[in-house]
Chain A
């Protein structure tokens, strides 16, 4: 029997006027997985979520939940828990009424409703707030109620639309861990939409990176960060330096040697086969650059430059560096902040310890 997926989108398209908001979107989520759809605003991530939830219907393509085609079903026939960005808690109901609403619709006996409301409240650690109205709750508590409402109906999957974006940083990080823990302990499949790359990297089993209605890459967090499929993914997740170079020999088994502008030769990962002599752009993360104290001989993988901006970030320190061979394209370098701090104007030598060949 073919493997069954909890969420499956195949070739979904949606146009609004001249804009393709969903451009051939296909994705599969296994049972119990935490998948994040990540991208800048307008990339189609919320549209993807709304299509899964049934709030919009794709122009073409299919959506199925646990093998059942739901493409043309309205939201109320889908059994999907939804957590909205602004929580969308009904202001005229108490917490208990909000959580029990879906259960009353399902005509469950009263004791069963009370039991499940209590259980859902326990899961999000809100026991004792049953009789409060949403306006009497803090932002974090409202977020938990929204989460509990989605859990209470015992849904097949839960989809979350930037659920943490309205909270302050501290609380956001706290709830991130709590949400992930809850998801793992319940084993519930979650699809999480966000524009926050940190959220995506820290919580997900799989990350879907989208831009202009298209999926750019689907992979686990480490792969999208360390082996970005293209320039967009590299630039969107974390920061990336782009440097021009040329292949020294044919790229094979993902390995390549690239000669940079100053003649330095660095080892790089090549996602696709390339031939010697080809012009390429390499992606280098700021932490893949290591400062070297000036020595006599310039090593093969070294660059030289001058320190420009010095940005102290607490746990790390970032330097903007103007390269001697290409002053037009300054690069960023990141170092732990307990190292000696350099000053603007200092001459530096840099080891390139890792690089990836960019594809478009």
Chain B
């Protein structure tokens, strides 16, 4: 027994790379490289190079105090929270209703809710801009939020339908049988059970809104620019590592959110529906 364990662990220590393993490693490096380059550039002392010539955390600290970026981040945060909240709120009834539709209809509707992902976002932004100017005559923060609600909705629709697909309708019937009204059933049974999908959808929507450039560039009022626009405008005139530092912070924030989503999808397994 001990011998076999030793032999197999010996093998595991020096695995011969398989084709699949190599392919996966290359893909991983390909995806992660830009993040490393940006983070590396942020550690430069003077101009942006990669690899950095002289390491310093100066710009990383400066990025957190530079008023213009902090201001942009705040605007981005507010827009993203409001847009993600509304798109999640709208996605909820959509996902719950899709579950009750006949499968063929549900499939078509699910695809149409993916629509905003299929249209090139710059074209979509232009269209939205003309509609908004026609309807309201101005752009302001709430119009930007409307735009973001539209582009972010596919995510909560997707994550919530993914969870509701596995939700046994008998759980809701059971609540009805002991006297729970449909609303009470939703609050006490449905919502707690689909919560991981709802939160994951909200966070995906948040990240999408936070990082959005093409919608924002059309619908942003001059005096209230979200962070991606701030970064863009800064780059038009200057080229200092602080911009990489700002981006690095943004990436770190997004990464934390992705980790939370992953944790939630993991939590889903622990709700004990499969036994």
Contact = CB atoms under 8 A, between A and B. Distances in A.
Is B one of A's binding partners?
A: yes
A84 B179 contact: no
A357 interface: no
B178 A102 contact: yes
Interface string B252-273: 0000000000000000000111
Nearest to B174: A88
B94 interface: no
A92 B176 contact: no
B165 to A, nearest CB: 16
Interface string A117-150: 0000000000000000111000000000000011
Interface residues of A, number: 30
B193 interface: yes
Given A75-B176, A105-B180, A91 B271 contact: yes
Given A76-B180, A105-B184, A86 B173 contact: no
Contacts of B273: 91
Contact of B176 (A76, A86, A134): A76
A84 B169 CA distance: 11
Interface in B165-204: 168, 170-171, 173-182, 184, 188-189, 192-193
A76 B174 contact: no
Contacts of A101: 175, 178, 180, 188
A85 B170 CA distance: 9
Contact of B272 (A82, A102, A135): A135
Nearest to B178: A102
Contact of A90 (B171, B176, B177, B179): B171
B73 to A, nearest CB: 36
A233 interface: no
B201 to A, nearest CB: 19
A219 B189 CA distance: 40
B275 interface: yes
B174 A84 contact: yes
A54 interface: yes
A55 interface: yes
Interface in A149-166: 149-150, 152-153
A79 B170 contact: no
Given A84-B170, A91-B271, A92-B193, A74 B179 contact: no
Given A106-B179, A135-B275, A149-B178, 6 more contacts: A55-B173, A84-B174, A85-B170, A86-B170, A90-B174, A134-B272
Interface of A: 53-55, 74-76, 78-82, 84-86, 88-92, 101-102, 105-106, 133-135, 149-150, 152-153
Interface of B: 168, 170-171, 173-182, 184, 188-189, 192-193, 271-273, 275
14 contacts: A54-B176, A55-B176, A75-B177, A76-B178, A76-B180, A76-B181, A76-B182, A78-B177, A79-B179, A81-B178, A86-B168, A90-B193, A149-B174, A152-B178
